[in-house]
Amino acid sequence: MVLVAIVAAVFWWCFSRSQLRWFWVGVGLWTISVVLKIACALVTNPLVLPPLEDLPFPLHVTLGALYSGVHSSLFEMGFTLLAVLIWHQLGRNAGRAIAIGVGAGAFEAFLLGLVAFASGFALIFVEGKAGEEALKGLEHAASITPLYWLAGPVERIIAILCHASSRALILLGVAKKRYMLIFWGFLIFTLLDGVAGGAHVGGFVGKISAWWVELAILPCGLVSIPILIWCYRRWGKENQEEESVDSEPQPPLKKDDLSPLE
């Protein structure tokens, strides 16, 4: 997952030549929105999710997934929308907008990779019943998921594609006054996190192969690819030359370059 994060960021930086600060803008937007999203979830989840358990199981899972997707999208995409409404330059061109999305998705993948590594490393030193139960849970998950080690990286690839496409649609939709794009950006991210939320609400995590979850979110990742290509072909070169010139140090002016004063 860490490698996926690094490769994604380096690839888009090399391909688009976007300034690194736009990747860091994505990191900042992700950090602020996720912190607030978690804080809100601690309050709202106990109020919303328990009553859903009394409903028939299919309806319970569907409404739980819908709540999870909308809640996550309102914060993560909502802060992206708020940011571009304040700073229109965030959607100046597709290279910049996609870099913001890649920065957000790559940072998430990087952190999750570090957490997974730290958790696995900590199991070596955990003794007693707690350590045995954790190892049994890990062994069970690996036994029901072929190529278990690959599931996390694949999930992060899909997630980064969705982060990039949904945020690019919102940023460009505002900046280019194509407001329908904002709706599609919210929809893609809602579906992505809705499926993940439904897997947790339904208790499927750890009971079925992780590849079923990846298969469920795969359409969101696949549809993101033509969206990113379209965005870059449509707005990728717009103002790009000015941005590349601005990002490079300019040589000092020579005396001959100055126009005579009248």
How does 39-73 read in b/e, with b if 16+ C-beta sit within 10 Å? Answer: eebeeeeeeebeeeeeeeeeebbbbbbebbbbbbb
User: What sign for the dihedral angle of Cα 11, 114, 197, 80?
Assistant: negative
Amino acid letter at 149?
A: W
Q: Can you give the pLDDT of all 262 residues of the chain as single tens digits? A: 999 999 999 999 999 999 999 999 999 999 999 999 999 999 999 999 999 988 999 999 999 999 999 999 999 999 999 999 999 999 999 999 999 999 999 999 999 999 988 887 777 776 666 667 767 777 877 888 888 889 999 999 999 999 999 999 999 999 999 999 999 999 999 999 999 999 999 888 878 889 999 999 999 999 999 999 999 999 986 655 445 444 445 455 454 444 443 3
Provide the residue ranges of all domains of the chain, joining segments of one domain with +.
2-121+128-239
Global pTM reads 0.86
Which run of H or of E encompasses 188?
helix 180-201
- Cβ count near 85 (within 10 Å): 12
pLDDT, residue 225, reads 97
At 164, list the tokens: 């990039």
Amino acid letter at 32?
A: I
- Can you name the residues that pair with 205 across neighbouring β-strands? 208
- In angstroms, the CA 95 to CA 237 distance is 8
Query: Strands (DSSP E) along 152-221, which ranges?
Result: none
Q: Are 161 and 221 in contact (CB under 8 A)?
A: yes
